[in-house]
Amino acid sequence: MKVRTIELDGYNQFKGVKIDLTYPKGHEKAGQPLEKICFIGQSGTGKTSILRLIKWFVTLNTKIGKNLNVLVPGNDKIKFEMQVSNLKFCLASGTDGLIFKNAKFENDSVDLEKFKTLRNDLIKKTLPLLVNFPTETIYTEILNIGPKEPIPTQIALKNRIEYLEALNPKQVMDYAIDAIDKTFEYLLKEIAEHRAEEIVYKNQISNEALKVNSKSEDIEKANNIYRDWLKKNPNPLEKLANNLLNGILKPLGLKVKTDLDKSAVLHISNIEIQTLDGVDIPYHFWSTGTKHLINLLIPLYELKPKNAIILMDEPERSLYPDMQRMVVDKCVSLGTDCQYFFATHSPIIASSFDPWEIIELKFDDDNKHIYQEQYYTGERHVDNYKFNPKYMSWDSILNQVFDIEGDGNPERQLKINELAKISQRITKKKQKETKETLLKDADYLKDVEDFKILANQLKWNLGSVEI
Amino acid sequence: MRKIDKTIFFATAFAEYIKEYAKNIGYHPVYDSSKNPYYNDVYYNLLFCQKGLCAYTEDLLENTIWKDIPNKWKNGKYIGETPKLDADLDHFNPLLRSNQGWDLDNLFVVKTYINRKIKLRKKVYHFFKPDNPNYSPEKYLEYNFLTHRFIPNSDLETIQQEKVDYMIETLGLNAFSTLESRRLYLSEIKFTMKNSFITFEVYKNEKLYKFFTAYEMSKFELEN
């Protein structure tokens, strides 16, 4: 499923806002829904509200606003145009739930009943349909603390395997409601099942060895059975570690713990991490950035979403700038034909987007209403955008996209002013005096020295300076 | 900051309205921005006087309709196009806003960002007013091409330089967005002049449309 347009008129502070979420003219995908979108704007401009609306409209929530302490939108205050395969449809808000406005399937109009059938058929196999990562993700308890039981019994292991096999992900994974650590049980069930089965095989080897009249060929046979099984069933945790997490954790001095921990099988539904030297790091001691990254990436990696809507509010939180640089691309790479909605305050996150993918929300002159700042003039065409964050320096993004004045601290501006004045004195003297005179002019020589010192403090490239 | 000539006056209906109001009430009507029926008359009259540029920064506000503004008046009222520009009317001296809010002498069209984020209601020095008869950019300013900043003319007394420094900051002459725009514009001109063999004078007469003061003051750097 994908969202094509969002109209907000009279809902919260939005007035006459129509957000076009399709590729502009001149783009090879012109007219098709955007694959990734980034909302930016001052706090309170409605970024999170829009993410919430997307969740409600995509999941056909009939109780918009009623289960939260927020305003229930009036009739037609919000309109969404959406698309699933060849079915395009428009829904609007209503005081009693969503209102069906119109729908077309392969260019033929369809009525409400037909729409319901088509929509349900088309999304039936979309699992998940939506994943929501809000800013405040819910956790229940920390699962890998407290005393662990000794080596589990065969019966306990079989029960565990049966339990894991019965787990299935939901169509809507909303971490504003679902505890993220609990969902790891089924997200990582393949890993847990593998662990449990591995212990069964290893126990069989031990049992052979512990027999009073144990024979070496029987032990070897059990060993071979284990090795054959392992060959056919490579450890999925190692795959997860090698393909995704270890590359991200390495700059943090960490790696995924892949050694078998027998006692963990029954009690840990999360992965474990350790230092590069192999020292275990209990979950309580994970940094918030590490937790955030793992909790963001594992669901996407394990669910392999296809045609889903993914909502990520402030993915940059607790992440160092180098991690922010990769987080958007990494998340997007884990899904297929999905539509990703990000909301951010980070210029680094914003630099991962083309200008038509950025929706900037702003307060109007009176700070009463919110509008969308347009980045193009004239026709909405790729050539008419006044800048592209992907090509801009951080300075320029901060200044032009986030409206930050200056290219550094106010102290820097004072120092640059000082530099300008010295450079002007040098230039003027050079235009008036001969080289011989200047080399005897103490004031001139002092200015040159001062200029060098100041330029170095300001990290001004002296190689490019002509004064 | 170029010198501005405000003697070109079309908004006669506005002038009559203010005159009548002041005669009866004793002061100007409340300055209520765009709600006033004469707002556009003042705005577009000034935009023409300023040749489509921000009065302080010389950044471009509008480059198509301003030239035709003299032909768009009927009975002293502006009847031309009123596109939404990124520009506001600014009261140069904010203290005059309450009782003389519609004094044309005190009004300029300036970039919204400069008006709302930089200048605000800071005090001003009248010697550094774009239409002051004694004002000229050469008298008070120098342009440093290395940093693309305006600085006070170093021939001025120190105390005067400090006042000019204050006004440069207050009017946003070196505001980062303006400075960046000016840097890119002049760098492009230098590249064009150097590689397309266009002289300083030819470029000025045929192509230049903003940042005139910085351009004039960068003659040496642009040519070398």
- Say if B146 is an interface residue toward chain A (CB within 8 Å): yes
How many Å lie between the alpha carbon of A433 and the closest alpha carbon of chain B?
16
CB contact under 8 A, B176 and A407: yes
CB contact under 8 A, B176 and A431: no
How many Å lie between the alpha carbon of A307 and the closest alpha carbon of chain B?
40
Mutual angle of helices A288-303 and A321-333, in 10-degree steps:
10
At residue A262, the pLDDT reads: 65
Q: Rounded CA gap, B63 and A15, in Å? A: 30
Q: What is the pLDDT of residues A205-245, one digit of tens each?
A: 988 888 888 888 999 999 999 999 999 999 999 999 999 99
At residue A143, the pLDDT reads: 47
Please tell me which residue of chain A has the smallest CA distance to B118: A405
CB contact under 8 A, A423 and B147: yes
Query: Does B177 score more than 50 pLDDT?
Result: yes
Residue among B118, B149, B176 minimizing CB distance to A420: B149
Domain edges within chain A: 2-126+306-401, 154-170+177-289, 410-464
- Say if A454 is an interface residue toward chain B (CB within 8 Å): no
- Say if B197 is an interface residue toward chain A (CB within 8 Å): no
Which positions in chain B touch A431 (Cβ < 8 Å)? 220
User: Which of A392, A421, A459 is the best substitution to test chain B (most B C-beta atoms within 10 A)?
Assistant: A421
- Say if B114 is an interface residue toward chain A (CB within 8 Å): no
CB contact under 8 A, B146 and A465: yes
Kindly report the backbone phi and psi dihedral angles of residue B29, in degrees, each rounded to the nearest multiple of 5, phi listed first: -60, 160
Residue B14, CA atoms < 13 Å, CB-side half-sphere: 22
Q: What is the pLDDT of residues B32-88, one digit of tens each?
A: 766 788 999 999 999 999 999 999 999 999 999 999 999 999 999 999 999 989 899
Q: pLDDT grade, residue B132 (50/70/90)?
A: very high
Assign domain A2-126+306-401 to a CATH class. alpha beta
Q: What is the pLDDT of residues A93-132, one digit of tens each?
A: 988 888 999 999 998 999 999 999 999 999 988 889 999 9
Which positions in chain A touch B144 (Cβ < 8 Å)? 420-421, 423-424, 427
> Once rounded to an integer, what is the mean pLDDT over residues B122-146?
96
Burial (CB count within 10 angstroms: exposed 0-12, middle 13-18, buried 19+), residue A200 = middle
Chain A to chain B, count of Cβ pairs less than 8 Å apart? 46
Instruction: Please report the ipTM that was assigned to this predicted complex.
Output: 0.83
Beta bridge pairs of residue A309: A130, A339
Which positions in chain A touch B149 (Cβ < 8 Å)? 416-417, 420
At residue B20, the pLDDT reads: 86
Q: What is the pLDDT of residues B91-105, one digit of tens each?
A: 999 999 888 888 999
Residue recorded with tokens 């060098």: A452
Which positions in chain B touch A399 (Cβ < 8 Å)? 176-177, 180
Which residue has better confidence, A116 or B24?
A116
- Say if A288 is an interface residue toward chain B (CB within 8 Å): no
Closest to B182 in 3D by CA, of B149, B223, B220, B152: B149
> Which tokens sit at A433?
């005096």
Which positions in chain A touch B61 (Cβ < 8 Å)? none
| DSSP secondary structure string for all residues of A374-404 | P-B-SS-BGGGBS--GGGS-HHHIIIIIS--
Which positions in chain B touch A400 (Cβ < 8 Å)? 177
pLDDT tens, per residue, chain A with 467 residues: 999 999 999 888 998 999 999 999 999 999 999 999 999 999 999 999 999 999 999 998 766 666 666 667 888 999 999 999 999 999 999 888 889 999 999 989 999 999 999 999 999 888 899 999 999 877 665 444 444 555 667 777 777 777 777 777 788 999 988 877 778 877 888 888 888 888 889 888 988 888 888 888 999 999 999 999 999 999 999 999 999 999 999 999 999 998 866 666 655 567 889 999 999 998 888 999 998 999 899 999 988 999 999 999 999 999 999 999 999 999 999 999 999 999 999 999 999 999 999 999 999 877 889 999 999 988 999 999 999 999 999 888 998 899 888 888 989 999 999 999 999 999 899 889 999 999 999 999 999 999 999 999 998 877 666 55
CB contact under 8 A, B151 and A399: no
- Say if A453 is an interface residue toward chain B (CB within 8 Å): no
Other CB atoms within 10 A of residue B11 CB: 22
Residue among B113, B147, B177 minimizing CB distance to A420: B147
At residue A65, the pLDDT reads: 61
